[in-house]
Structures are given as C-alpha cells and as structure tokens.
Structure 1
Amino acid sequence: MLTQQLSRLLRTCAPALAAIAFAAAPAGALTIPLNVEFDDGTVGPHATLTVEESGGGLDFTLSLAGTDLGPNADLHEFYFNIAGDPGALQLETVSAVATPFELSTDPAVAGGAGAAFDYGVNLGEGAGPPGNGVLQSASFRITADDPLTLASLSPLSATSQGIQVNFALHVQGTSAPFATSETVGGVIPEPGTLLLLAAGLSGLALHGRRSS
C-alpha cells in the first residue's frame, strides 16, 4: 500500500519538479549562492547573486535576504573576473542609492579580499555608515566595448585558503559568530547540474508509472 502511494506521489510530483529545475536556470541567467566563507571555507546561507545577459551587457543583483550574517549586515564590495579582453568596462548603478556605485579595475587597493580578482564594485557609499543594515540588496549593470555573456565570468580566483571561486562579496556589520565583516564567495554551477536533477526526477516519475 505504501509503495503504491509513493509511486503515485512520484508520478504526480516528479514532472513538475523537473520542470521547476529547468525553469530555475533560464537561458542567459544564473542564480548563484555566495555561500562559502573565505577564511575557513564553511558553507552557509550568506548571500545570493543573480546574473542575467541583457543587450550585450550583464545585469547583476546581490541580496542578503535570508542571510545568516546578522540583521545589520551591509553589502560593501563585490569582486569578479572577466575572460579575455572585452575592452573597457562600464558600470551603471540600477539600485536607488545615495551615491552611485564605483567600478575598480584594481580591487587590491580596496582590501586583501579583492586582490585575487580583476574587477571590484564598491557598494559601500550607497549604504551610509557600515553595519546599519540599509544596503541588503544591490543591482547594477556591467557593459564593455565587446558584448559580455555569462561565459565571460568563467575565470576562477583563489581565496586566502586556496578555495576556488568565481565571485566574492565583502559584507560589513556582520554579527557573531562571524567577525564584524566577512568575505564570502561562490562558484558558477556546472551546466549539467540542473539537467541531471531534472533527468533524475523524470526517471523517478517513469519508475513510479511502471510500478503502479
């Protein structure tokens, strides 16, 4: 009886879950958890990055929603790499903030966390004093002389502990058990990850159909 119920549940739910898995990564868009803490590599719900291709540029959205970094955490600096030589990069601030964000081509000057990356975006000026919990999300657009795609973001950089990441985010005003500021990073998911998930769910649905 229980086996039949499980089969019916799989047959009903697996196709929908597979569809969700495919929809979670539409063409030209990625959502990446910035969930690796730089110093010791611990993983947690620290921040989320969404990147979308748009008109030859890339639209970035950073969010601390659901973060475990504390209620006063503020976005401060974001670091990334660009493959090849697309020409000069330009930044457009999309979020409504007090002052525009700033693009740096030498993020090492902003602190040790950015030293391994090609570019940095300073977000701190839009939040006022650090640690007031005001800047919990930020949106900006990056363009270049040549078109940018998600593949342009592929180069990896190493953290202080040798952890390989595509992106890093420095957050101020974090709460215990973290230090007063933290740097977290994330990796672009492998292209086949969601496809494997969807295929597995579809397989479960087929198995349930045959077993009923």
Structure 2
Amino acid sequence: MVSLGHVSDVELILLINQEDEPAFTEIYNRYWEKMVSYAVRLTKSEEEAADIVQEIFVSIWNRRSVLVVKGSLGAYLIRSTRNLCLRYIERNIHTENFLEKIADQAVDSSQNIEENISLKELQDNIELGIAKLPKKMREVYLLSRDEQLSYREISEKLGIAEGTVKKQISNALKVISESLNGKLSAAMMTLFLHLLK
C-alpha cells in the first residue's frame, strides 16, 4: 500500500472526491486524535467525544463526492467538532448536573441550571468579540482555537516569540470576555469561560 503521508490535505480532499479510501484513511489518521482530544475538553466524556468525531468522519465519507473544504482542512475539522460538541451540550444542558460537569464544578449546584441558556446567543456574542480583536491578535487567537495549534506551532508559523503568542491569546480572551460582560447570564458566562480554556 502506497503511503500518503507526503500528500497535502488539499490533494487528499480531491482524492476523496474520487472515492479514494486510502486518502480518507490518511485524513482520519492525521486528525482523529486531535479532534477527539478537543471534543473531550468540551464534553468531558471520552465516549461522547469519540462518537462525535466518528459521526463527523461518517458524514465526510457519505458526502465524499461533493465535499468542498474552504480554507484549512484542520480548521474545518475542528469547527465541525466544536459545532457537534455544542449540539451535544445543547441537547444535554437540562440533564441533571450536566452544566456543572462541563464547567468543572464551577457552577454552584444550588443554581438553577435550567434557566434559559442559548448556545446560539453564546456563539454569536463570541463571534462579535473575536471580530473586535486587532488583526494580528485575531490571527493568533484563531490559529489557537480553530486550528488547535500550540503556542510553539503558532510562534513558528508567524515568526514571533512564543511569549508573544501566549500574551496575545491571553489578551484576546480578556477582550472577548469584556465584550460579553453584562450580555450573558452567570451560567452562560461560566460555560463560555469553560469553552475557551
């Protein structure tokens, strides 16, 4: 079997469009672990995380002949993972103790977790906060959050110091948090902070 390790993501997508199973397997092998790791952070469940990522890959294979990926494949897969995780959270948000679980016990158990929580509101407000970031800070933030790159990887990609990357991300989170201040309920703010960890 020919190794596809040297083939670019763009070329792999084109091969998948032609129903090339080895190309699909290569993408699966490249991104499975990173996607599951990210999903575990959001759902706090290894089993659910694996199911979510499996669902994404099944969907990709089912749409293989018409699949179009704009931009980075890694970013596309992480966005898909985040969206499915948020749907999972939304479906379970009223389950007993679920909010406390995903927020690492940060929400007081006496708080009414069945208050009206809109994840769409959260996503919209986060996007508005991101749009307010200075261009360079936004670029660093999106490389960290959308592509799940480490500080070192971002540093190498952009040619800036690792400490600068860390500071930019910290400042970005501060700006986004401040832009949400007063717009979200306490429970929603807790969920936001958890999702951005």
TM-score normalised over the length of structure 1? 0.22
* Larger Rg over CA atoms: 1
Greater share of residues in helix = 2
The higher relative CO (CA closer than 8 Å, separation ≥ 6) is in 1
TM-score normalised over the length of structure 2? 0.24
